[in-house]
A = this chain, B = another copy of it.
């Protein structure tokens, strides 16, 4: 089998053309964009996101409601990553049979309640789906969106050297939560409430994404699901020859993550760069637009600049460690 997501995507590209009539934007960004030819809603953003037991979550420390919440949150974050407004979602659900490892009615009810609460809050009503038995609990969420009030959808790979990099949300916090939950189970929720919540109950930044899409000078946007080390090269464009020069400070790491990673002997820069699943937004903005973006979105932080040379540099040194590969 392919050893990385990259190998798999190459296999997909060998078999399926990535341009076709009716598709404005094909594979490779947070969402695909379908051409709706002039409707009042504009084009349609679609994205699917798998949430697989054993690969993405464990029932030993995810409550049923956490599972329902996070499956939808991760998918909805792909809409946020385009600056899109939500329309609807669809759920394909694989349920294991009864017995050990099975799912009973109460579990299913809580899981759906957790998903429904987020669905209502985000304005992502459930329009359809499918159901099957299978060997594990698997949720596949498909989300549909459209341009927000600004009419703009933001993509990756559209930055230029000198553009400023802005992060909206945490980096490394969810990974601290994951590692603590793996080490001590649900007890970690008391010791590290913010970090565990970041892993169990991430909040997709749909409002922030639409706000960014409406600001002048915001040239590119994505969500950070695999960590900055892996996702930053995707924002600046994998074939662009561009890179990024970051300036990171210890205080940029959430105190819970700082304490956790320091106790494990990891530096804050590594923790910041390698953390996955924070579902923060990463934007590339023109130098002139930077102050306006930081004023409009106080939670946003300036973390660096797009450089003309490829590769990542952090605080003046090359950063070559890879981020989080869900598939690897």
Contacts and interface: CB of A to CB of B under 8 A. Distances in A.
Given A48-B92, A127-B32, A127-B34, A55 B1 contact: no
Contact of A125 (B23, B31, B125): B23
A133 B94 contact: no
A128 B94 contact: no
Interface string A195-229: 00000000000000000000000000000000000
A263 interface: no
Contact of A326 (B46, B53, B132, B136): B132
Interface residues of A, number: 75
Interface of A: 1-2, 5, 8, 11-12, 14-17, 20, 22-23, 26-27, 31-32, 34-41, 44, 46-50, 52-56, 87-88, 90, 92-98, 102-105, 108-109, 112-113, 115-116, 119, 125-136, 138, 140, 142, 144, 326-327
Given A15-B109, A136-B136, 20 more contacts: A11-B112, A15-B116, A23-B125, A26-B125, A27-B126, A32-B90, A36-B41, A37-B41, A39-B40, A39-B41, A44-B144, A46-B142, A49-B92, A52-B133, A54-B134, A56-B132, A92-B92, A132-B327, A135-B136, A138-B138
